[in-house]
Structure 1
Amino acid sequence: MAVVILNWNGRDFLRRFLPSVLAHSEGAAIFVADNASTDDSVEVVRQEFPAVQVVQLADNLGFCRGYNAALDEVRRLGPLTGDTNPTRPPAERGRDRTDTFGFRYYVLLNSDVEVTAGWLSPQRALLESRPQAAACQPKIRQYSPDPVQRELLEYAGAGGGYLDRFGYPFCRGRLFDTLETDHGQYDDPRPVAWATGACMLVRASAWHALGGLESTFFAHMEEIDLCWRLWNAGHEVWYHGGSTVFHVGGGTLHKSNPRKTYLNFRNGLALVYKNTHARELTTTLAVRVLLDWVAALRFLLQGALPDARAIVRAQRDFYRRRAYWQQQRQQFPPRLTLAERPGVFRGSLVWAYFGQGKRKFSELDADLLN
């Protein structure tokens, strides 16, 4: 197993959180893949954390291309068959390897995540007991020095990722910006629509078979797209609440950043277009486009003109690249209809949240939940 942390100018996060990763990741090799940082991240890792291996990328490739390039290199440096000793020199581990993928599992871990004792065991055990399962995430709670804030489920993953019928992502424990306190209500393992890229265990063979993350996304929605493709390819995606990690969130782009708004809305349209079953695509995409325009109008009325403009650009750029998205549909044909996809709310989350005032996952109509 390889734990791979993609870093860009994250020296302070690495100093704060690498100690927990090293302390609680028994039997795993730890890699920091550096996305051409301009701070002294690489020097800090090499001097202060010599057990961590560094993969240096020549350019800042963003989250998606960065992870794709990093895991290709980690695959090359993978251990000899049966060799789980992460202290062996990379060249020795890669020599005379007879396995196809080097490491059986990759863990995509954000640099701003604090892990806890036993954080890997439940996810790994689940994947080993279910050959069809290709990805899994733990429970994600909010990182904070405040004990009360640490009890909140976190925006990026919470209790496992869901989608509504129009492709809007949400989580058990997080609807839009409303976070629930963790009372153990999401401790159960279950299949979900998507696992968070902040902390995801993924089977290496499935990762490489699907080509990793969608490189044109740059960042945001990429894990949802990957997991949707995994389901379409016949794999499963799971959540396991048997372990917990704590995520800072917003370490690269704050949620109010117009660049993040642009990426979320452009990539959101693209993932719906790429992965929705043909029988449902026309209606789903038309409603999604309309709701995105409503979101732009809402930003405008709130005085957030840069965010409104970002949505307009997102719509424009999505349609400009429609031929490319069509190629991706053909390469990984959507296989599952709405009723067949686990982790789906077969209603509108926008209506449930803003129209009906539902703020908790438990308040959603259970008859519409897959």
Structure 2
Amino acid sequence: MRSVPLVSLITLNFNQAELTCALLESIQRLSYPAIEVIVVDNNSEEDPTELIRKRNFKDIKVIVTDKNLGFAGGNNVGIRQAKGDYVLLLNNDTEVTPDLIERLLEPFEHDTTLGVTCPKIRYFQEPTVIQYAGYTPLNQYTGQAWSIGSHQEDIGQFNTSGITPFAHGAAMMVKREVLERAGLLPELYFLYYEELDWCCRIIQAGYKIYYQSSALVFHKESMTVGKGNPMKVYYQTRNRIVFMRRNVSSLSLLIFSIYFTALALPKAVLIYCLRGQFLFLKAFLQGVRWNLHHTVERPTVSTQQTTLIDNDLVTLKASV
């Protein structure tokens, strides 16, 4: 019988097998004794299974999808296969510290209302500089929330753990009962904002999100789509609006719409034109246009979701 809870580590690979292997190498140094590791390949041009096998990693399960399911869809495939009492989502462009899992599990032992824990994140290329130390609350009228401590030298100023409104999708540990109550990641988004929307649903289900300052992950930021990419502009624009449509009141959405139309949109158009970034401008406008032509359902938490998740898990486990 296991004396400690099983933790399922899930990461996505998309045309970056070497980067994924670097994460898997760091996972081998974890001190926690009960983990399973699941790599979901999002239909890469080259199946990474053989490369991972040649590296002689211990206990790695590789799942290859038949199409690119995006961040949410790919992680959901892994979650459905996971057997753990806790699920730890890790970007494949992260590297972990040896005591990460123990640190992330610790808060759950003291507060049963916690549904998610997340570590401090520093930049891999600048290992003393913070990317994430919790989030500010969402501004209901501009649709913005800011990562606390971003681009600041870490001198211990964010070493106080506590409740935060949002986890960071690069590294977040989720209790299994949260999946049964709040559902899986919303696949509408494909890229960006899906973990923020998920956090709203998790909080709606009665759980809290906790920033654990003593846990640490290093992040090689934007390695999958790049820091400057029209696809990133498209999904960030599209999904910012989608997120607001799904998660704020009618009055807040009206004020956001006025703000976005009168200020954010013309500012973005002007900047892209002045810089000659017309592909970025096109992507931005396409992201806006998508919202003009598509309805968006508001998320709900219900007992029906619990049944659907359980059924999905049973079906997928049986097909392994």
Match of residue 45, structure 1, among 48, 52, 70 = 52
Distance 1:226 1:168 in 2: 16
Partner SS state of residue 97, structure 2? coil
**What stretches of structure 2 of length at least 5 have no aligned partner?**
1-6, 303-320
Cα distance 1:41–1:259, how it changes in 2: closer, same or farther (>3 A)? same
Contact 1:272/1:285, CA 8 A, preserved across alignment: no
Cα distance 1:207–1:285, how it changes in 2: closer, same or farther (>3 A)? farther
TM-score w.r.t. length of structure 1: 0.74
For 1:57-72, list aligned pairs within 5 A: 57-72=65-80
Match of residue 298, structure 2, among 328, 334, 343 = 328
Percentage of pairs with the same residue: 26
Distance 1:105 1:243 in 2: 16
AA at the equivalent of 2:122: R
Distance 2:218 2:234 in 1: 27
Give 1:35's aligned residue.
Answer: 42
Distance 2:39 2:264 in 1: 36
AA at the equivalent of 1:130: D
CA RMSD of aligned residues (A): 1.9
Give 1:168's aligned residue.
Answer: 144
Partner SS state of residue 158, structure 2? coil
TM-score w.r.t. length of structure 2: 0.85
**What stretches of structure 1 of length at least 5 have no aligned partner?**
79-102, 334-370
Distance 1:310 1:8 in 2: 22
Contact 2:114/2:209, CA 8 A, preserved across alignment: yes
Give 1:182's aligned residue.
Answer: 154
Cα distance 1:255–1:180, how it changes in 2: closer, same or farther (>3 A)? same
Following superposition, the deviation at residue 255 of structure 1 comes to: 2.0
Following superposition, the deviation at residue 272 of structure 1 comes to: 1.0
- Structure 1's consecutive aligned runs of 4 or more residues displaced over 4 angstroms after TM superposition are none
Give 2:181's aligned residue.
Answer: 209
Cα distance 1:47–1:316, how it changes in 2: closer, same or farther (>3 A)? same
Distance 1:233 1:290 in 2: 35
For 1:1-370, list aligned pairs within 5 A: 1-24=7-30, 26=32, 27-48=34-55, 49-74=57-82, 78=83, 103-144=84-125, 149-154=126-131, 158-162=132-136, 163-165=138-140, 166-174=142-150, 179-293=151-265, 294-321=267-294, 323=295, 325=296, 327-329=297-299, 331-332=300-301
Distance 1:131 1:61 in 2: 33
Partner SS state of residue 171, structure 1? coil
Aligned length: 291
Following superposition, the deviation at residue 263 of structure 1 comes to: 0.2
- Give the number of the structure with larger relative contact order, counting CA–CA contacts within 8 Å between residues 6 or more apart: 2
